[in-house]
Amino acid sequence: MISDQKIFNHESELKLQSGATLGPITLAYETYGSLNPARTNAILICHAWSGDAHLAGASSTGESRPGWWEEAVGPGKAFDTDKYFVVCSNVLGGCNGSTGPASVNPATGKPYALSFPIVTIADMVDAQALLSDHLGIVYWLCVAGGSMGGMQALQWSVSYPKRLRSAIVLASTARLSAQTIALNEVPRQAIYADPNWRKGEYYEGARPDSGLAVARMIGHITFLSDASMREKFGRRMRINTHYGYTFESEFEVETYLTYRGNQFTKRFDANSFLYLSKAMDYFDLSYGLPSLADAFRKTTAKFLVMSYTSDWLYPSAQSKELVRALLQNDIDATYVEINSDYGHDAFLLEVDRLAELARDFLKRV
């Protein structure tokens, strides 16, 4: 399977939820499989915080990096590219081909940095709707995603109820909890504390890599679970069998976190990281409404909602709250809680169960 990364340019301005405007905008996207003549087989997959448009497959440019959901997208897989036309775009505010704080502001000829407006999940979805128009897709058979991707799927069902037939929402929530806001705020503070951050104006100098690495390390802890970390690392030491009694990293789990934190700085922009965290913090489908159920008054899509027992970042209780709100609107919603030790990462890893469930669900849509 070969995937081409394409760029969608929207020349006019987008009105944002905050009231600000942004434009022109660019979205990087990839497509897999073929759109059928009736244009009824299109599936939009939305990525999570650190994801991008490269969902699966070898790139035609020869790049061999696997996609972030390689296991779930392809011929015969959960999202079967022999049957469906699958699209994935990098979110607005991102740093992998879409307009974000690292992009050049045409008004100044310099990167936006913190002059980039705050974008929300609804703004990301509005940008995706423009891409859908561009691709000639009147409605999506399904919009699917985990974590922040699930928020986008939910937002689609609220912002464009007639433009999707179904949504698959994994390890996600209809509104960020206090704990998750807290777990976004600390990484932000870690970036702010890096003197190289310079209030976001670092594009011409040293980057706030130390702050971003610490930020990402916090993320990695929240993606795993106590059980998966015990299984994966336990108290195993990297080299020695006896304690060295130093501040050097000795336990495998320390080395893992430091490595992942440092690797992340090579592929992600610290300002983008900040903007996406704020987009999630502001995500609350009940914002300004009497109840969460009121958010779905116009929603007609069928839902498959999945959560994972060891996911403490978006615990099952939040999926159950979402499903209750859907059912209060007589929406056809299936909820499955998967027993898994993988924590939040389970939505990326427990693909066999997802494949079974998604196949049956999409057949029903």
Question: Among residues 82, 226, 352, 360, which is the contact residue for a copy of itself, using CB under 8 A?
Answer: 226
Closest distance of CB 301 from a copy of itself, Å:
25
Query: Which residue lies nearer to a copy of itself by CB, 58 or 221?
Result: 221
Q: What is the DSSP string of 177-212?
A: -HHHHHHHHHHHHHHHTSTTTGGG--TTS---HHHH
Instruction: Round to whole Å and give the CA distance between 213 and 215.
Output: 5
DSSP state of 248: S
Q: Is 240 in the site for a copy of itself (CB under 8 A)?
A: no
- Specify burial of residue 314 (Cβ count, 10 A radius: 0-12, 13-18, 19+): buried
Beta bridge partners of 303: 167, 333
Instruction: Round to whole Å and give the CA distance between 56 and 65.
Output: 9
CA nearest 137: which of 108, 110, 159, 165?
165
Q: Is 287 in the site for a copy of itself (CB under 8 A)?
A: yes
Q: Does the active-site annotation cover 311?
A: yes
Query: Which residue lies nearer to a copy of itself by CB, 18 or 60?
Result: 18
Q: Does the active-site annotation cover 286?
A: no
Binding mask 166-185 for a copy of itself (x = CB under 8 A): ---------xxxxx-xxx-x
Which amino acid makes up residue 179?
Q
Q: Does the active-site annotation cover 242?
A: no
Phi and psi at residue 325, to the nearest 5°: -65, -40
**141-149, 156-164, 186-194, 354-362 -> range binding a copy of itself (CB under 8 A):** 186-194
Instruction: Round to whole Å and give the CA distance between 66 and 221.
Output: 23
CA nearest 174: which of 337, 287, 40, 39?
287
Closest distance of CB 246 from a copy of itself, Å:
7
Instruction: Round to whole Å and give the CA distance between 176 and 195.
Output: 29
Q: Is 243 in the site for a copy of itself (CB under 8 A)?
A: yes
Beta bridge partners of 142: 43
From 3, 147, 172, 340, active-site residue: 147
Q: CA-based Rg of the chain, rounded to a whole angstrom?
A: 20
Binding mask 123-162 for a copy of itself (x = CB under 8 A): ----------------------------------------
Phi and psi at residue 356, to the nearest 5°: -55, -50
From 126, 269, 311, 345, active-site residue: 311
- Specify burial of residue 1 (Cβ count, 10 A radius: 0-12, 13-18, 19+): middle
**156-164, 226-234, 291-299, 323-331 -> range binding a copy of itself (CB under 8 A):** 226-234
Q: Is 11 in the site for a copy of itself (CB under 8 A)?
A: no
From 10, 47, 54, 344, active-site residue: 344
**2-10, 248-256, 328-336, 354-362 -> range binding a copy of itself (CB under 8 A):** 248-256
Residues that bind a copy of itself (CB under 8 A): 17-20, 114, 117-118, 120, 175-179, 181-183, 185-186, 188-190, 192-195, 210-211, 213-214, 217-218, 220-221, 224-226, 229-230, 232-235, 243, 245-247, 249, 251, 253-254, 257-258, 261, 274, 278, 281-282, 284, 287, 312, 315, 317
Catalytic residues: 147, 311, 344
